[in-house]
A and B are shown apart, each in its own frame.
Chain A
């Protein structure tokens, strides 16, 4: 807990949490939601194609959209670190946060697996991808309702 209390007292943590600037907490949160839509949404679109939607799209070409998916992913990686710096205790003491990270790790692992096997129409992997990204969104949303400690220092 002392580490978390120290982290909360750093200037950057206080800025994320307390700055009246729209680019602090509100802006980071907005970026995190836009990145979520891009990362989860494009992975869902690829999964839908594997599952038989838009059959006229050559399956192997779907991977050309992956750079946009990774853009959303990295946007969320960094905005996620920003949110974590603002409220480290709130996330790190909540088991739901680790569930979310686990689901994202599963989703990222599946991106690579699916990419290499696109021509085989890996329907099972596509369903798991939907489960992981949908689960990560739900777990992320529920973080606001399941935390036990907001701050270590209070």
Chain B
């Protein structure tokens, strides 16, 4: 895994030199960050609102009608995958070896899997006309969704506090949370 991470960092750092150059210009990074935060708000605003409805807030709002907001949440997600890739392409070692980033990716995957399971198991019942109270499975999915997206935000903010340093003498573990190409830390 650590070996895979090293090759991934190597590949990312050579993948898009023009983008990296733009990102290192005066306003490149700040602009991408601002867009990342706007996308974040669209994502948690729309998806979070739907989760709150599943949990019983604003029962006067029909669930299928409110679901039409979800594509806008997905647009926010797409904006953030795109803007997030810009950071990754510019400073790959700051992310790939960063435990906060590793957890962020894990939580995004859990959120995605949770959404998939929600559509497979409960969407039929939730989407039926006149459903006021979401079934228990829908509520569980909403709690998982809210906690995962909040965790994703927190991990994103904590990235800078977990900048990877050099690995210990015995080398990185199964998943490298230190930069194997830096001088070892004693």
B-contacting residues of A (Cβ < 8 Å)?
22, 26, 29-30, 33-34, 36-38, 40-45, 48-49, 53-58, 61-62, 64-65, 67-68, 133-134, 137-138, 140-142, 144-145
Contact = CB atoms under 8 A, between A and B. Distances in A.
Interface string B28-47: 00100110011011111110
**What 4 pairs between A and B have smallest CB-CB spacing?**
A41-B45, A56-B65, A64-B58, A54-B68
B161 to A, nearest CB: 5
Nearest to B150: A34
A37 B40 contact: yes
Contacts of B3: none
Contacts of B41: 36-37, 40-41, 44, 133, 137
Overall SS of chain B's interface: helix
B48 A38 contact: yes
A24 to B, nearest CB: 11
B8 interface: no
Contacts of A65: 49, 52, 57-58
A6 B49 CA distance: 43
Contacts of A48: 46, 69, 72
Contacts of B52: 65, 68
17 contacts: A26-B157, A30-B157, A33-B154, A36-B40, A38-B45, A41-B44, A41-B45, A48-B46, A54-B66, A56-B65, A65-B52, A65-B57, A67-B57, A138-B34, A141-B30, A141-B33, A141-B34
Interface residues of B, number: 35
A110 to B, nearest CB: 16
A37, A40, A42, A68 pick with most chain B CB within 10 angstroms: A37
A40 B41 CA distance: 6
Nearest to B156: A33
A36 B37 contact: yes
A38 to B, nearest CB: 7
A33 B153 contact: yes
Given A36-B41, A37-B153, A30 B62 contact: no
A53 B71 CA distance: 10
Contact of A41 (B30, B48, B60): B48
B52 to A, nearest CB: 6
A56 B11 CA distance: 47
A138 to B, nearest CB: 4
Contact of B69 (A29, A54, A61): A54
B74 interface: no
A1 B109 CA distance: 48
B158 interface: yes
